[in-house]
Amino acid sequence: MAGDAAYNDYRFGEALASYQRAFKHTSKEQTPALWAAVLIDIGNAQWAMGLRTHGADIHQRLAEAVAAYRAALEVRTRESLPLDWAATQNNLGNALRNQGIRTAGEAGAKLLS
């Protein structure tokens, strides 16, 4: 809840720190839905920070968001959780689009594809 409060107040760094602390108390094996949900929160905070920063930090933040969303898709599958899967795919697509727009040349085009 602390992470959500900070996120909603545009304090994304604090939100990320809260989500990362919460993530330490989850397990993909024991609490897969919670594990994936916290990863989505981490991804959202990283994505928001990536949109609001400059330089190389942009790529690091967006790459972290992409990694979090992809990990969450290990649990949020099309077969088991189709609505959650679709929402996570949307988040992943947005992060990749933003990463591609901010990456020059062939690497950017590859991300956009």
How is 4-15 classified by DSSP, letter by letter? HHHHHTT-HHHH
2-112 CATH pick, 3.90.230.10, 3.30.230.10, 1.25.40.10, 1.20.120.530:
1.25.40.10
- This prediction's pTM: 0.89
Cα pseudo-dihedral 104, 108, 110, 113, rounded to 10: -140
Q: What would the pLDDT profile of 58-86 be if each residue is shown by its tens digit? A: 889 999 999 999 999 999 999 999 999 99
Q: What is the pLDDT of residue 56?
A: 83
Residue ranges per structural domain of the chain: 2-112
The residues of the chain scoring below 70 in pLDDT are 111
Q: How many CB atoms lie within 10 A of CB 40?
A: 21
Q: What is the pLDDT of residue 105?
A: 76
Q: How far apart are CA 41 and CA 47, in angstroms?
A: 10
Q: What is the pLDDT of residue 72?
A: 97
